[in-house]
């Protein structure tokens, strides 16, 4: 069985000398594993000399490490957002989701973005939108802000989400006997033809 030996870059000692002394097969001499960058996704490669813990040392002037488990002779420094020995893994920043208030998370390289539901904003949908700052309530209505929305307290005679509709009290044709209906703020008024009287002109 051949035992790999990691050969120090600075050594100038005869390869044959070590083969004779150690009786091992030398797999690589002055090899640079970073020549063809094995690191993916823009990771940078650095050479390193390392072996597993089951190691023994040989007494000699240069250092010789003998091991059945030489470790990967390089290390990758990954760009933000990537991980793994070869930077091959895209880190999913959406696991767990950082978005609040029901926001939808999108995994990006080195980060994330959130699509927020209406009424929330911020990098992680953490902030309530204060809709009252844009004065959405019409016709003198009072605006009430709350997390995720707003509410308009309409004045008499107005209706709708933003109090922009005038309530038509004549809509149901309350006047009988040919009376004409006039819409007022809180009520209606029936104008009676001659000989008829009453709120709704019933005889």
- Residues contributing to the site for Ca ion (CB under 5 A): 128, 145
| Cβ closest to Ca ion, residue 67 vs residue 151 | 151
Question: How far is CA 78 from its chain centroid?
Answer: 21
Q: How far is the CB of 132 from Ca ion (least distance, A)?
A: 8
Q: How far is the CB of 115 from Ca ion (least distance, A)?
A: 18
Q: What is the DSSP string of 82-142?
A: EESTTS-EE--TTSS----TTPEEEEETTEEEEEPPTTEESTTS-EE--GGGG----TTPE
| Cβ closest to Ca ion, residue 81 vs residue 162 | 162
| Cβ closest to Ca ion, residue 88 vs residue 128 | 128
Q: Which strand (E) or helix (H) includes residue 74?
A: strand 74-77
Q: How far is the CB of 145 from Ca ion (least distance, A)?
A: 5
Q: How far is the CB of 79 from Ca ion (least distance, A)?
A: 38
Tell me how far apart the alpha carbons of residues 72 and 47 are, in angstroms, rounded to a whole number: 9
| Cβ closest to Ca ion, residue 90 vs residue 128 | 128
Q: How far is the CB of 121 from Ca ion (least distance, A)?
A: 10
Q: How far is the CB of 36 from Ca ion (least distance, A)?
A: 56
User: What's the half-sphere exposure (Cβ side, CA atoms, 13 Å) at 89?
Assistant: 6
Q: What is the DSSP string of 126-195?
A: -EE--GGGG----TTPEEEEETTEEEEEPPTTEESTTS-EE--TTTT----TTPEEEE-SSSEEEEPPTT
Q: What is the DSSP string of 23-37?
A: ------SS--TTSS-
Q: Residue of minimal CB distance from Ca ion?
A: 128
């Amino acid at each position: 069985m051949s035992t790999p030996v990691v050969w120090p870059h600075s050594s100038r000692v005869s390869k044959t000398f070590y083969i004779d002394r150690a009786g091992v097969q030398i797999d690589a001499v002055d090899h640079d594993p970073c020549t063809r960058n094995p690191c993916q996704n823009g990771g940078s490669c650095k050479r390193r000399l390392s072996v597993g813990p089951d190691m023994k040392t040989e007494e000699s002037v240069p250092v010789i490490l003998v091991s059945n488990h030489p470790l990967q002779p390089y290390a990758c420094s990954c760009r933000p957002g990537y991980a793994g020995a070869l930077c091959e893994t895209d880190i999913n920043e959406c696991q767990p989701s950082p978005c609040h208030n029901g926001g939808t998370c999108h995994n990006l390289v080195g980060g994330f973005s959130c699509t927020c539901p209406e009424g929330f904003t911020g990098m992680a949908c953490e902030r309530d939108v204060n809709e009252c700052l844009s004065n959405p309530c019409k016709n003198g209505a009072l605006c009430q802000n709350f997390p995720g929305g707003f509410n308009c307290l309409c004045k008499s005679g107005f209706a709708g989400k933003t109090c922009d509709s005038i309530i038509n009290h004549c809509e149901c044709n309350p006047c009988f006997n040919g009376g004409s209906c006039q819409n007022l703020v809180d009520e209606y008024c029936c104008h009676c033809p001659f000989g008829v009287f009453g709120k709704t002109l019933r005889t």
